[in-house]
Amino acid sequence: MKDVIIALDFRNREEVLTFLDRFQEPVYVKVGKELFYAEGPSIVREIKALGHKVFLDLKFHDIPNTVQGAVRSAAGLDADMLNLHAMGGGEMMRGAMKELEGREKKPLLIAVTVLTSMDEKTLKSELHVSLSLEEEVLSLASLTKKSGLQGVVCSALEVPKLKKALGEDFLTITPGIRPKESASGDQKRVVTPAMARELGSDYIVVGRPITKAENPYAAYLKIRAEFMGGERI
């Protein structure tokens, strides 16, 4: 199912609750490092208790044993989606998946490929990656699928290639979404919500174009309508 995930990149609980208060229905939100490190695990439980779905975006990247432990702790928070960096490798990803085995309520586990704030020039000149950006994303996504995870974070620009190679069921979660009138900021591989729909993204992740809007709820509805197109909203 397609959905819009709102990135709650806020400083504290008060800002989050004021923001969510404007929404008239349960939404899918993302809790990232800024909010999680300010408020701790209780913020995830509190948002869940309000009826919203939560993608806990902590992007684990460490040795396999440490990531396995982190996934164990995070899975106890009842988040709907967790993630890690595919660059941590197959052993790390398989260990993380193993940790979720046998749980009654399992979050989706996905992996970040190449951050949407990165372009090919930086990938080559700073990280000395020899593959093209698209090939690097595909290579990391293939490893992610082989390791048993359900999907990846990438730019919507890469979705058609990934779907063709890895199948329609392999989920693509795509940040770097900018409506026509929005500034890109630090995002490099950007697309509009309508382009993300055309390219086949499963979920779009949208932060500032909603959180910094004069009317965040109206901005959310507009972006959602553009992304969901004819689908039932």
Ligand X SMILES: O=c1ccn([C@@H]2O[C@H](COP(=O)(O)O)[C@@H](O)[C@H]2O)c(=O)[nH]1
Binding interface with ligand X (CB under 6 A): 7, 9, 32, 112, 115-116, 153, 175-176, 187, 205-209
Catalytic residues: 57, 59, 62
> Is 205 in a helix, a strand, or coil?
strand
Known binding residue 52? Answer is no
Known binding residue 30? Answer is yes
Known binding residue 232? Answer is no
Work out the angle between the directed axes of helices 133-146 and 90-100 (0-180°, nearest 10). Answer: 40
Distances (CA, A) of 48 to 4, 55, 126, 202, 223: 17, 10, 39, 22, 23
- Minimum CB separation of residue 230 from ligand X in Å reads 24
**Phi, psi (deg, nearest 5) at residue 40:** 80, 180
Between residues 13 and 105, which has the closer beta carbon with respect to ligand X? 13
- Minimum CB separation of residue 101 from ligand X in Å reads 26
Known binding residue 187? Answer is yes
Known binding residue 94? Answer is no
CB atoms within 10 A of CB 121: 10
C-alpha dihedral (138, 143, 146, 149), degrees to nearest 10: -90
Between residues 166 and 205, which has the closer beta carbon with respect to ligand X? 205
> Is 59 in a helix, a strand, or coil?
strand
Length of the chain: 233
**Phi, psi (deg, nearest 5) at residue 134:** -60, -40
**Residue with nearest beta carbon to ligand X:** 207
- Minimum CB separation of residue 133 from ligand X in Å reads 12
Q: Are strands 28-31 and 81-85 parallel, antiparallel or unpaired?
A: unpaired
If you search the block for the tokens 């193993």, which residue do you land on? 98
- Minimum CB separation of residue 6 from ligand X in Å reads 9
Between residues 176 and 193, which has the closer beta carbon with respect to ligand X? 176
Between residues 145 and 189, which has the closer beta carbon with respect to ligand X? 189
If you search the block for the tokens 């929404």, which residue do you land on? 23
State the binding site for substrate: 9, 30, 57-66, 116, 178, 187, 207-208
What residue numbers does the annotated binding site cover? Answer: 9, 30, 57-66, 116, 178, 187, 207-208
